[in-house]
Amino acid sequence: MVNHPLPPELLQDAAATFGLLSATVRLQIVWLLAGGERDVGTLAAEVGQTVAAVSHHLAKLKLAGLVRARREGRHQVYLVDSPVVVEIVQLLVGDRDDLLRRPARSKRRSRRA
C-alpha cells in the first residue's frame, strides 16, 4: 500500500481528536464507554472525578462527535459514537497494557545483548 499526502483539513481534524484523547480522564471515559453505555454518575465514580467534571469532558467529546447521549428515563446515557475511535483506543491502550505487563528482562540478559 502506498500512502499519499493527506489534506491539511483531515490532518487537523485527526490531530484535534488525538488532542481530546490526550487527557487521561477523557481517554479513560472513552475506554469505559467502549465497554458499554454508562450514565454520568457511574462514569464519575469509575474515573474518580466529580459529576460536573465528567459532564464537562463528555460535552467536549460529544461536540467532537466521539460520544453521544440518549435519554433513559430521567438519565442521560452515554455511548461511543465512533467505532473507529473505539478500535483506535482499544489498540493503543491494549498495546500499552501488554507492554507494561511484559516481564522485565533481567539485567544480566540485557548486558549480554
> Is pLDDT at 109 greater than 80 in this prediction?
no
pLDDT band per the 50, 70, 90 thresholds, residue 105 = low
CATH code: domain 10-108 is: 1.10.10.10
- Rounded to whole angstroms, how far apart are CA atoms 59 and 61? 5
pLDDT tens-digit map of 55-97 = 999 999 999 999 999 999 998 999 998 888 888 888 888 766 6
Percentage above 90 pLDDT, the chain: 59
- Rounded to whole angstroms, how far apart are CA atoms 92 and 88? 6
The amino acid sitting at 73 is: G
User: Three-class SS of residue 18?
Assistant: helix
